[in-house]
């Protein structure tokens, strides 16, 4: 746990950079690089959507190495031919995710992996605001009949124990109140492990992304059940 806290404290040291050209979206906090975007999927193709920040986008590695792509390969190996859409955008907060949720959830989405909140913590944003944003995303998914896998995060320790506890409780409350499948910490087994992180000590390497996919896989497999795209 101490190594995890040190890693999260390093995250908190990242600040907003200077201005960029208007055609570049600079990410801040988790994802200190050019903002990554996704290509709109076919509206009819069945798919899983991973909605997140740079930890989902795979900042510093290729999209084929990020955990959504690893999950897609695992699904294929297990006879489930379904696209896993990487809807991770570097620097996104829960509010950013809510603003693009309708677009992300269009079409034949079979599962939403919701992995947002890291940047809310790094900026010390109100936990009640984060909860409202995440609940809004969950509500929009539920309106479309899409099951949600909620992936939690941990707040850096520099905002104090009370903030960290309240932050953690948001994910617990959302999972309980919405009866969601819940993975308490997206970076379990990755945060604080030097060989699984890039030089910044924050973003997973390809091996770290595989570890995240392994961590999520039992829940994804359970939620997909026998569902196979035809």
Q: Which residues are catalytic?
A: 54, 200, 203
For residues 73, 188, 198, 34, the Cα torsion angle rounded to the nearest 10 degrees is: 70
Instruction: Give the pLDDT confidence of 12-46 residue by residue, as tens digits.
Output: 433 333 323 223 233 334 554 434 444 444 556 79
Instruction: Give the pLDDT confidence of 199-227 residue by residue, as tens digits.
Output: 999 999 999 999 999 999 999 999 998 55
Q: Percent of the chain having pLDDT more than 70?
A: 79
For the chain, strand residue ranges (E) read 47-52, 83-88, 109-115, 148-151, 181-183
5: left (phi over 0), alpha (psi -120 to 50) or beta: alpha
Mean pLDDT over 49-58 rounds to 98
At residue 227, the pLDDT reads 53
* Strand order across the beta sheet in which 181-183 lies: 83-88, 47-52, 109-115, 148-151, 181-183
User: Which residue, chain included where needed, has tokens 């896998």?
Assistant: 149
At residue 8, the pLDDT reads 52
Rg, Å, the chain Cα set:
16
Answer with the residue of higher pLDDT: 7 or 166: 166
Q: How many CA atoms lie within 13 A of 44 on its CB side?
A: 1
Mean pLDDT of the chain: 85
* Confidence category of residue 194, pLDDT binned at 50, 70, 90: very high
Stretch among 23-27, 63-67, 74-78, 176-180 having the lowest mean pLDDT: 23-27
Mean pLDDT over 55-60 rounds to 98
Taking alpha carbons only, the member of 161, 201, 148 closest to residue 30 is 201
Architecture of domain 2-224: 3-Layer(aba) Sandwich (3.40)
Backbone angles phi, psi at 208, to 5 degrees: -65, -40
Q: Percent of the chain having pLDDT more than 90?
A: 76
Taking alpha carbons only, the member of 172, 156, 152 closest to residue 164 is 156
Please say whether the dihedral angle defined by the alpha carbons of residues 204, 205, 211 and 217, taken in this order, is positive or negative.
Answer: positive
């Amino acid at each position: 746990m101490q190594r995890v806290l040190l890693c999260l404290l390093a995250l908190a040291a990242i600040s907003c950079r200077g201005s960029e050209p208007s055609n570049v979206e600079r990410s801040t906090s988790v994802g200190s690089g050019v903002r990554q975007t996704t290509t709109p999927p076919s509206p009819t193709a069945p798919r899983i959507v991973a909605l997140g920040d740079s930890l989902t986008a795979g900042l510093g590695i290729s999209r084929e190495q990020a955990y959504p792509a690893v999950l897609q390969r695992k699904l294929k190996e297990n006879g489930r031919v379904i696209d896993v859409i990487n809807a991770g955008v570097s620097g996104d907060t829960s509010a950013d995710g809510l603003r693009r949720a309708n677009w992300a959830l269009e079409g034949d989405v079979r599962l939403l992996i919701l992995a947002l909140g890291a940047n809310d913590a790094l900026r010390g944003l109100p936990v009640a605001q984060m909860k409202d944003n995440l609940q809004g995303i969950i509500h929009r998914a539920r309106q479309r009949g899409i099951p949600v896998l909620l992936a939690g995060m941990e707040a850096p320790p520099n905002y104090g124990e009370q903030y960290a506890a309240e932050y953690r409780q948001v994910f617990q409350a959302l999972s309980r109140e919405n009866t969601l499948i819940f993975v308490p910490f997206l970076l379990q087994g990755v945060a604080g492990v030097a060989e699984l992180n890039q030089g910044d000590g924050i973003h997973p390497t390809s091996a770290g992304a595989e570890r995240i996919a392994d961590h999520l896989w039992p829940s994804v497999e359970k939620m997909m059940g026998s569902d196979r795209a035809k």
